[in-house]
Each structure stands twice: as C-alpha cells, then as structure tokens.
C-alpha cells in the first residue's frame, strides 16, 4: 500500500488497534444512546455504524462515499487511531 508516494508497512498490532477502536466506538455509541450492539453484530457492521455516527456528529472528517469500506475506515494506520481518540 502506498500513501502520499510512501510505502506503508502493516502494523504488527493492527488487529489490537481495530479491537480497541471498536471497543471505544461501542462505548461512545452506547453512551450517546444511539444504539446498543448485540453480541451477534459483526465487526464490519460495528465499524461502519461507528464511522457513520462519528461523521454525523462531526467528530471525524468523512471519506468520499465511493471510498467507504471497512478496509478504508479501519484498515489504514490513521483511521483506527483517529476513532479511538474521539
């Protein structure tokens, strides 16, 4: 993967960052009273819902709609970190 002309390496703890982002995002969603995630909800569904809520609340800048996907939202280095900071 290349961003800004520079090759990017996969983070060693990327899976842990995704889990932390989902956990922090789930807490934000539930504290806000927007939804309650069920144990059967997939990680992809949670990520997309959290992303859309953060965009709606203007906590993060949205991606162009044609680029919205799980990989684009949480598959890049900055996105997971950005979500955990909100």
Supply the pLDDT for residue 1. Answer: 44
Supply the pLDDT for residue 17. Answer: 79
Instruction: Say which residues have a Cβ less than 8 Å from residue 23's Cβ, sequence separation at least 6.
Output: none
29, 53 Cβ separation under 8 angstroms: yes
Fold of 11-85: 1.20.120
Rounded Cα–Cα distance for residues 24 and 82 (Å): 11
Rounded Cα–Cα distance for residues 39 and 72 (Å): 24
Strands 2-3 and 6-7, bridge-based pairing:
antiparallel
Rounded Cα–Cα distance for residues 35 and 43 (Å): 15
pLDDT digits (tens, 9 = 90+) for 64-78: 877 777 666 665 545
């Amino acid at each position: 993967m290349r961003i800004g002309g520079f090759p990017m390496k996969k983070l060693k703890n990327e899976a842990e960052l995704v889990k932390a982002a989902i956990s922090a995002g789930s807490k934000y969603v539930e504290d806000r009273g927007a939804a309650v995630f069920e144990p059967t909800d997939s990680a992809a569904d949670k990520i997309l819902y959290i992303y859309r809520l953060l965009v709606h609340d203007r906590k993060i800048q949205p991606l162009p709609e044609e680029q919205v996907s799980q990989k684009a939202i949480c598959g890049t280095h900055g996105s997971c970190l950005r979500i955990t900071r909100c």
